[in-house]
Amino acid sequence: MIKLSRRLQRIADYVTEGARVADIGSDHALLPVYLLQIGKCPSAIAGELNAGPLQAAKKQAADAGLKSRISARQGNGLAVLEPGEADTVTIAGMGGSLMSAILEEGHASGKLVGVKELVLQPNVGEDEVREWLLEKGWFLAAESILEEDGKIYEVLHAVNDPNAASQNQSIYNGDFLGLAYEKELLHRVLLRMGPYLLRESSPVLTLKWKSEIKKLERIIAQMSGSELAESAAKAEQFRKEIGIIEEVLQCLQTGIR
């Protein structure tokens, strides 16, 4: 029986019982093998871009005795998937920009037809993924944040729901923060920091954004020696960004939610 990392385990937990899974960028097919071993999923597709990882995925499936139920395929993103083949698509361990591009290409080519849920774990750029989901009418049903081996991960669970528009409108209502921000700014804050993560709050969330503040402060310090107007404008933008993050964290710490 495969033992998953905490990150992959959280992804597995979001997968619906009985779903046919397509795991894109499958990392040795660890997730598909685990989901079949515990009886949560009847079949899976493991998609890999390069030949080496593809062979590793095939070997993992064969070693687990699941070669007939896990189809390891080589291709770019959702190109490995045929419409109607999967109920759940999981994508993990890449930047939000690339993940959004993969989803957009899959959406445009009809690869997401019949897919009921997406479980997504971007390494960075989570706001880009949330924005894509919102624009394409997927309901962000849940999200979580965790720390493992010194790294912080966010996992997003989105479902294909006919009432997505009204449900998303509700979760992206930032009034619970109690901040006197314009609606557009408040919306951007929720996209960036996570509507559920902000509602639930957690030490890990605070840790992530305090680390982001330190990173921005370092960048501002590096810019201080520049006489370029562009650098000064960028530094001011980062200062405003820090101010917003600090205000949001203060709201969370004082329980104004």
Mean pLDDT of 131-137: 97
Q: Helices in the chain by DSSP H: which ranges? A: 6-14, 30-37, 51-63, 96-108, 126-135, 164-171, 183-193, 195-200, 203-223, 229-253
Q: Partners of 74 in the beta sheet?
A: 48
Mean pLDDT of 140-156: 97
pLDDT higher at 222 or 188: 188
pLDDT at residue 253, rounded to an integer: 81
d(CA 74, CA 79): 9
Mean pLDDT of 195-217: 96
Domain segments of the chain as ranges: 6-171, 176-253
Note the CATH number of domain 6-171.
3.40.50.150
pLDDT at 226 over 80: no
pLDDT at residue 257, rounded to an integer: 41
pLDDT at 89 over 50: yes
Max Cα separation, the chain? Answer: 64
d(CA 15, CA 156): 11
Q: What kind of architecture, by CATH, is found in domain 176-253?
A: Orthogonal Bundle (1.10)
d(CA 66, CA 41): 12
Mean pLDDT of 84-101: 97
pLDDT at residue 255, rounded to an integer: 58
Question: For the segment 12-38, what is each residue's pLDDT rounded down to a tens digit?
Answer: 999 999 999 999 999 899 999 999 999
Mean pLDDT of 227-253: 90
Mean pLDDT of 1-9: 95
Question: Are 157 and 117 in contact, with CB atoms under 8 Å apart?
Answer: yes
pLDDT at 252 over 50: yes
pLDDT at residue 160, rounded to an integer: 97
Question: Are 121 and 156 in contact, with CB atoms under 8 Å apart?
Answer: yes
pLDDT at residue 24, rounded to an integer: 98
Question: For the segment 57-86, what is each residue's pLDDT rounded down to a tens digit?
Answer: 999 999 999 999 999 999 999 999 999 999
pLDDT at residue 256, rounded to an integer: 44
The mean pLDDT of the chain is 95
Burial 99-133 (b: 16+ CB within 10 A, else e): bbebbeebbeeebbeebebbbbbbbebbbbbbbbb
Measured in whole angstroms, the distance separating CA 90 from the mean position of its chain's CA atoms is 10
Question: Are 14 and 88 in contact, with CB atoms under 8 Å apart?
Answer: no
| Alpha-carbon distance values, 95 to 74, 101, 192 (Å) | 20, 10, 14
